Amino acid sequence: MKNFLLNLLDFVYKKKCYFCNSSKQSVKMCTKCFDELEHLPIRVNRRVFKTNIYCAGVYNKNLQKLIRGLKYHRQKELAYYLAKFMHQYWQRLDLEGEFEVVPVPIFEKRRKQRKYNHMELTANEFAKLSGFSVNTGLIKRIKDTKPQYNLKKPERAKNLDKAFEVDKSLYSGKRILIIDDICTTGSTFEEMTRTLNAAGIYDITCFAATTPFSE
Decide: helix, strand or coil at residue 192.
helix
Q: H or E element: which one contains 208?
A: strand 204-211
Q: Please give the CATH architecture assigned to the domain spanning 37-211.
A: 3-Layer(aba) Sandwich (3.40)
Of 108, 125, 126, which Cα lies nearest the Cα of 117? 108
pLDDT at residue 29 in the model? 98
- Give the integer Cα–Cα distance in Å for 66 and 76: 10
Q: Per-10-residue mean pLDDT for the chain, 215 residues long?
A: 46 81 94 97 94 97 97 96 98 94 93 93 98 98 73 70 93 97 94 97 98 73
Structural domain boundaries in the chain? 1-35, 37-211
pLDDT at residue 12 in the model? 54
- Give the integer Cα–Cα distance in Å for 162 and 168: 16
pTM reported for the whole predicted model: 0.89
